[in-house]
Amino acid sequence: MQRRKQDVPKRRQKIFVAMCAGMVWRWLQFQKNALFFLETPISWNDLEVLRQWVVRLYQAIQEDRVSRGILGRLYGIYAEYQQNQNAWGRWRWRACYSLARYANQHKAFADDLQQLAAELFCSTSTESDFVALIHIPARWTEMLTRKEE
């Protein structure tokens, strides 16, 4: 008897997809310089940095150190940056204020938020501006933490 996709529990599907993605990831790293992920072209090095932020955000949300509201804040920062794409635009001080207030409200995640803010404003670990990529870890984490119906 052949199993249908509906018969496999959702958790096992996620694990299988993650394993396949890991295998494809390793194969592609040797074949291509960059990839197109969540409608954004990014380098492999940037993807690794973003993946690390996804892990940090996901773990913090799962441990209730921070709410999913942080994802909305990150989307907001990205949207303001996209309006004029000015490195020294209004988005900077608004992001600084927003993240500082959020760190005040979520003291357990304050150190990570300070590192995130430093990365947003200095962007030393990515080849592209980190603020231009911040929507990727936000979206990726949102997909991982979405409630199943």
Cα dihedral across residues 93, 99, 102, 107: positive or negative: negative
pLDDT of 101 reads: 92
Whether 64 and 148 have beta carbons less than 8 Å apart is answered as: no
Low-confidence ranges of the chain (pLDDT < 70): 1-34, 148-149
Tens digit of each residue's pLDDT (9 = 90 or more) over 43-65: 888 888 899 999 999 999 999 89
pLDDT at 2: 52
67: three-class secondary structure by DSSP = coil
What pLDDT score was predicted for residue 124? 78
Q: Dihedral sign, CA of 25, 113, 89, 143?
A: positive
> How high is the pLDDT of residue 77?
92
pLDDT value at residue 16: 53
Predicted confidence at residue 1, as pLDDT, reads 47
3 state SS of 136: helix
| pTM, two decimal places | 0.73
